[in-house]
Amino acid sequence: MRALLVQIEAASEPHVGASEAAALLESDVDLAVFPELHLTGYDLARVDERAIAADSAPMMALRDAAAGTDTAVIVGFAERIETGIANSLALIDSDGELAGVYRKTHLFAREREVFEQGNELMVTELAGVRIGPMICFDCEFPEPARALAGAGAELLVTSSANMAPYFHDHLIASQARALDNRRPHLYVNRIGEQGGHRFVGGTRYVTADGRIEAAVDDEEKGLLRVELHPGAVREIEVDYLPRVREDIEVIGPRDHGRIT
């Protein structure tokens, strides 16, 4: 699989973001990944006015571009749903079909006041590869990535809008999630300033043994093209996933009495 990881600032309006994303798609790339809320921006005070539906005109234009270049796309947007607004990823296959919409399950800080929390993880096939998508704060927890890998994901993908001072948190988490599950991990983060935050970049490709194979300079605009083989799992002496024990109980502290 040839992947394009896009580290740029978020758009000011959905149609602008869709046009910018469409212009970056390349026919020799199988999968293009954009940051969290790329189409609508990370400005929590303006989420309601910028939120769009999954079948909105900007999204349809991006789907047409995906089909035209034969490129699968993962892109973040504020999704207008029946119960409010979700922090979502559109998962568009290379034929332009919407393969799924993932809604962020672990909302960070004030996001909980603005977004409806997603209640499902998903494994979606894009460009012939089973992908487990996550959004930003999701990847700081071991459990979502482990559940996705256990459900058959061959490749972990995190779309992020990580801001200062949390660069180091995501540096460690992105490598740990790959190592935990022996799955390659594409981590994409945005740059720029918006909504009172400074976004810290650090887009990277982490191999299944937790090594950073390639990365974009922190806080610099950049396009990272990588080649990976998520279906070709090599023999690894320490492969954690099949050795996880589910039968171990946690017991409480024992009262041994007080010595006087």
Per DSSP bridges, beta strands 197-200 and 191-194 are: antiparallel
CA–CA distance, 185 with 208 (Å, rounded to integer): 7
104 is catalytic: yes
- Residue 21: both structure tokens together: 């994303």
136 is catalytic: yes
Q: Which of 79, 111, 116, 136 is catalytic?
A: 136
Q: How far is CA 230 from CA 9, 89, 149, 224, in A?
A: 28, 21, 12, 17
Opening angle at CA 39, ends 186 and 35, nearest 5: 20
Q: Which of 20, 79, 104, 111 is catalytic?
A: 104
Opening angle at CA 131, ends 129 and 134, nearest 5: 165
CA–CA distance, 87 with 105 (Å, rounded to integer): 9
CA–CA distance, 33 with 40 (Å, rounded to integer): 15
CA–CA distance, 46 with 65 (Å, rounded to integer): 27
Q: Which of 20, 36, 111, 116 is catalytic?
A: 36
CA–CA distance, 158 with 170 (Å, rounded to integer): 10
Task: Give bridge partners of residue 125 from the DSSP assignment.
Answer: 130
CA–CA distance, 206 with 170 (Å, rounded to integer): 12
Per DSSP bridges, beta strands 72-81 and 124-126 are: unpaired
- Residue 171: both structure tokens together: 């540096």
Bond preceding residue 165 cis, omega within 30 of 0 = yes
Catalytic residue numbers, as ranges:
36, 104, 136
